[in-house]
Amino acid sequence: MTTTECDNVIDSTQLDMKDILDRILLTAGDIILGKEQVLRLAITCVLARGHLLIEDLPGVGKTTLAHLLARLLGMQYQRIQFTSDLLPADIIGVSIYDRGQEAFHFHPGPIFSQLVLADEINRATPKAQSALLEAMEERQVTVEGETRKLPQPFFVIATQNPSYQIGTFPLPESQLDRFLMRVQIGYPDTASERRLLAGKERREMLESITPCMDMQQLVSIQNMVDEVFVSDALLDYCQALLEFSRTSPRFHHGLSPRAGLALLRNARAWALLEGRDKVLPEDIQSVLTATVGHRLHSTSDTGVNEGDQLAQHLLESVPIP
Amino acid sequence: MRVQDREPLSRSLLSALIILLVAAAVPHFFHLHLWITLFFLASVALRVASMVRPELLPGKLLLFLLAVAGLVNVTLNYPVLFSGETAIALMTSMVGLKLLEINTRRDLFIVVFIGYFLLATQFLFNQDMWMVGYVILLTAALTGVLLENSRHRPSGNPIKTYWKSLALLLQALPVMLVLFVFFPRLSGPIWSLDSPDISGITGLGDSITMGSISGLVLSPAVAFRVEFSGPKPAPPKRYWRGPILWDTDGRNWTRGKPLTNEPLVMKPNSPVIDYFITLEPSGRRWVMVLDLPKAVPEQAKVLGDFQVIRQKPIYDRIRYQASSWLFYNTGKITPEELKRGLQLPGNITQRMRHLVEEWKSVAANDLDVVNQALRHFRNEEFYYTLRPPLLSSNPVDQFMFESRRGFCEHFATSFTLLMRLAGIPSRVVTGYQGGEYNPLGDHLVVRQSDAHAWSEVWLPEAGWVRVDPTAAVAPERIERSFEFDTGLADGLLGAPIRFGNVHLGMVGNMLKQLRWGVDAVNASWHRWVLGYTEERQSRLMHMLGLDFLQGRRLGLAMVVFAAITVLLLGVAIWYKGRNRIDAVYADYLRFCSKLKHRGITRRDTEGPLDYLKRICRQRPDIKHGATQITQLYIKLRYSHSSGKNDQRSFHSMVRRFRP
What's the structural domain count of chain A?
2
User: Which one is predicted more confidently, B560 or B201?
Assistant: B560
- Inter-CA distances, B90 with A139, B64, B97, B390, Å: 70, 15, 11, 44
pLDDT for B44: 93
CA distance B152 to B562: 34
pLDDT for B538: 79
Per-residue pLDDT band for B323 (boundaries 50, 70, 90) equals confident
Q: Per the domain annotation, does A66 fall within a domain?
A: yes
Q: B12-21, B628-637, B638-647 — which is least confidently predicted?
A: B638-647
pLDDT for B495: 46
Per-residue pLDDT band for A8 (boundaries 50, 70, 90) equals very low
Domain ranges within chain B, ordered by starting residue: 4-171, 207-486, 581-656
Residue from B291, B316, B366, B468 carrying the catalytic annotation: B468
Residues A124 and A262 in one domain: no
**Is the pLDDT reported for residue B385 higher than 50?**
yes
Residues A161 and A246 in one domain: no
Q: A154-163, A276-285, B95-104 — which is least confidently predicted?
A: A154-163
CA distance B432 to B280: 14
Chain A partners within 8 Å of B581 (Cβ)? 321
Q: Per the domain annotation, does A271 fall within a domain?
A: yes
Residue from B28, B376, B443, B452 carrying the catalytic annotation: B452
Per-residue pLDDT band for A145 (boundaries 50, 70, 90) equals confident
Residues A111 and A237 in one domain: no
- Kindly state the helix (H) or strand (E) to which residue B381 belongs, with its residue range: none
pLDDT for B581: 54
Best mutation target among B614, B640, B641, B647 (most A Cβ atoms within 10 Å) is B640
**Is the pLDDT reported for residue B92 higher than 80?**
yes
pLDDT for B2: 52
**Is the pLDDT reported for residue B135 higher than 90?**
yes
Angle in degrees, 0-180, between the axes of helices A62-72 and A3-31, rounded to the nearest 10: 130
* Closest Cβ–Cβ partner in B2, B606, B638 for A233: B638
Residues A37 and A170 in one domain: yes
**Is the pLDDT reported for residue B1 higher than 60?**
no
Q: Per the domain annotation, does A194 fall within a domain?
A: no
**CATH code at position A268:** 1.10.8.80
**Is the pLDDT reported for residue B424 higher than 50?**
yes
Query: Number of helices and strands (H, E) in chain A?
Result: 13, 9
Beta-carbon separation of B604 and A247 below 8 A: no
Q: Per the domain annotation, does A113 fall within a domain?
A: yes
Q: A175-189, B229-243, B524-538 — which is least confidently predicted?
A: B524-538
Chain A partners within 8 Å of B634 (Cβ)? 278, 280
Residues A59 and A171 in one domain: yes
pLDDT for B68: 93
Residue from B397, B408, B587, B592 carrying the catalytic annotation: B408
Residues A256 and A173 in one domain: no
Q: A196-200, B240-244, B416-420 — which is least confidently predicted?
A: A196-200
Residues of A with CB under 8 A from a CB of B: 3, 7, 229, 231, 233-234, 247, 249, 277-282, 285, 315-321
In terms of Cα–Cα distance, which of A227, A232, A313 is closest to A271? A227
* A265-278 per-residue burial string, b: 16 or more CB within 10 A, e: under 16: bbbbbbbbbbebbb
How large is the average pLDDT for residues B44-51? 90
Kindly report the CA angle at A304 between A301 and A307, in degrees rounded to 5?
Answer: 70
Best mutation target among B611, B635, B639, B646 (most A Cβ atoms within 10 Å) is B639
Domain span including residue A284: 228-321
Which pLDDT tens digit goes with each residue over B547-583?
777 777 878 888 888 899 889 988 988 876 655 557 7
Best mutation target among A278, A279, A318 (most B Cβ atoms within 10 Å) is A278
| B190 DSSP 8-state letter | S
Q: Per the domain annotation, does A91 fall within a domain?
A: yes
User: Which one is predicted more confidently, B213 or B160?
Assistant: B160
Q: Per the domain annotation, does A142 fall within a domain?
A: yes
CA distance A140 to B490: 92
- Kindly identify which residue of chain A lies nearest to residue B586, measuring between CA atoms: A321
CA distance B296 to B599: 80
* B616 is annotated as an active-site residue: no
CA distance A275 to chain B (A): 14
Q: B241-255, B321-335, B349-363, B492-506 — which is least confidently predicted?
A: B492-506
Beta-carbon separation of A282 and B610 below 8 A: yes
Angle in degrees, 0-180, between the axes of helices A215-227 and A257-273, rounded to the nearest 10: 110
**Is the pLDDT reported for residue B22 higher than 90?**
yes
Per-residue pLDDT band for A268 (boundaries 50, 70, 90) equals very high
**Is the pLDDT reported for residue B653 higher than 80?**
yes
Residues A35 and A58 in one domain: yes
**Is the pLDDT reported for residue B497 higher than 50?**
no
Residues A119 and A219 in one domain: yes
CA distance A223 to B384: 106
Residues A131 and A245 in one domain: no
CA distance B585 to chain A (A): 9
Beta-carbon separation of A234 and B585 below 8 A: no
Q: Per the domain annotation, does A209 fall within a domain?
A: no
| Percent of chain A residues topping a pLDDT of 70 | 92
pLDDT for A15: 58
CA distance B310 to B308: 7
Q: What mean pLDDT is reported for chain B?
A: 80
Residues A219 and A241 in one domain: no
**Is the pLDDT reported for residue A9 higher than 50?**
no
> At residue B414, what are phi and psi to the nearest 5 degrees?
-65, -45
* B468 is annotated as an active-site residue: yes
Residues A18 and A118 in one domain: yes
* Closest Cβ–Cβ partner in B2, B3, B605 for A315: B605
Q: A101-110, B236-245, B261-270, B535-544 — which is least confidently predicted?
A: B261-270
CA distance A321 to B468: 88
Q: Per the domain annotation, does A7 fall within a domain?
A: no
Domain stops at, among A180, A197, A223: A223
Residues A101 and A140 in one domain: yes
**CATH code at position A143:** 3.40.50.300
Q: Please state the ipTM of this predicted complex.
A: 0.81
CA distance B157 to chain A (A): 26
The one-letter amino acid code at B181 reads V
CA distance A67 to B41: 76
| Percent of chain B residues topping a pLDDT of 90 | 10
